[in-house]
């Protein structure tokens, strides 16, 4: 199968080049620096995970390259409120436009509708995107290890930190986990979906968990493929309490209720 990730990254680089023609990096950075309203994304997860309570990053996602349109009735404000009522710890909002039909306006609207911290879920390839995420209100950004070299990971993490944002570092395999553990961010997301082929195996998180020691003080988040209560139990049985879930909720009439039902701990 074609490498979907490489296609997305090529499009993102072109997109950034076009955006810079409309608004300069310096102008956007000034706006990002002027915002002093981050909500503490990592802390919201840590409080629950430390107590062995399920901590959910609930995702607002309209479409994906592998599934097409996931939700026709798509109102970010209403979805954010539903998730907050259902017990989400944080939100994730897809802002990638071409492949996921997301937008930064969705992020702005979702964050304005509730008090939860929000992740800007996108494919970061340039500092410009980090400035833009903060300017629109993001409390956290995603850095995909497979998409960046070690210098970019370090530099992008530092930029986000200077803008008072948290960083969710996403890995898929052992080599990527080794690279992620060199960074300072406590948040490590293990994507059970291979972004090169879009194949999914939820046992991926369990396998990679063994590489992270307690002394490293990391918060492990399992991403992709968590669809049923049994999947949640499997993770809990392996001492994993952090989740990023989108599709399983977005396909339900009431996403927040679906979240509450799936995450209820006996």
> Residues 20, 28: contact at Cβ < 8 Å?
no
pLDDT-derived band at 1, boundaries 50, 70, 90: very low
pTM of the model: 0.96
CA nearest 220: which of 188, 247, 186, 180? 188
- Whether the CB-CB separation of 124 and 144 falls below 8 Å is answered with yes
Domains and their CATH numbers in the chain: 4-263 (3.20.20.70)
- 121-165: pLDDT as tens digits: 999 999 999 999 999 999 999 999 999 999 999 999 999 999 999
Q: Quick: pLDDT tens for 220-259.
A: 999 999 999 999 999 999 999 999 999 999 999 999 999 9
Question: Cβ atoms within 10 A of the Cβ of 231, count?
Answer: 18
Residue 156 burial by Cβ neighbours in a 10 Å radius (0-12, 13-18, 19+): buried
Contact 56, 259 (CB under 8 A): yes
Question: Would you please indicate which residues are annotated as catalytic (active-site) residues?
Answer: 59, 61, 121, 170, 191, 223-224
């Amino acid at each position: 199968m074609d490498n979907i990730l490489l296609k997305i990254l090529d499009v993102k680089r072109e997109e950034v080049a076009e955006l810079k023609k409309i608004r300069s990096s310096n102008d956007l950075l000034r706006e990002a620096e002027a915002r002093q309203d981050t909500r503490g994304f990592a802390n919201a997860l840590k409080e629950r995970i430390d107590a062995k309570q399920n901590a959910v990053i609930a995702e607002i996602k309209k479409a994906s390259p592998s599934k097409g349109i996931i939700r026709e009735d798509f109102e970010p404000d209403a979805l954010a409120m539903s998730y907050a009522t259902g017990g989400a710890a944080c939100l994730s909002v897809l802002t990638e436009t071409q492949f996921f039909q997301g937008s930064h306006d969705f992020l702005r609207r979702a964050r304005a509708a509730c008090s939860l911290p929000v992740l800007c879920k996108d494919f970061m390839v340039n500092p410009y995107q980090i400035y833009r995420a903060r300017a629109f209100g993001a409390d956290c950004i995603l850095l995909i290890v497979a998409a960046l070299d070690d210098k970019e990971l370090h530099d992008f993490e530092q930029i986000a930190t200077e803008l008072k944002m948290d960083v969710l570092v996403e890995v898929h395999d052992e080599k990527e986990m080794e690279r992620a553990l060199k960074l300072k961010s406590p948040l490590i997301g293990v994507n059970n979906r291979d972004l090169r082929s879009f194949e999914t195996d939820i046992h991926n998180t369990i396998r990679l968990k063994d590489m992270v020691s307690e002394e490293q003080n990391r918060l492990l988040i399992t991403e992709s493929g968590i669809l049923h209560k049994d999947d949640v139990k499997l993770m809990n049985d392996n001492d994993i309490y952090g989740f990023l879930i989108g599709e399983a909720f977005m396909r339900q009439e009431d996403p927040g209720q679906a979240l509450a039902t799936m995450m209820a701990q006996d």
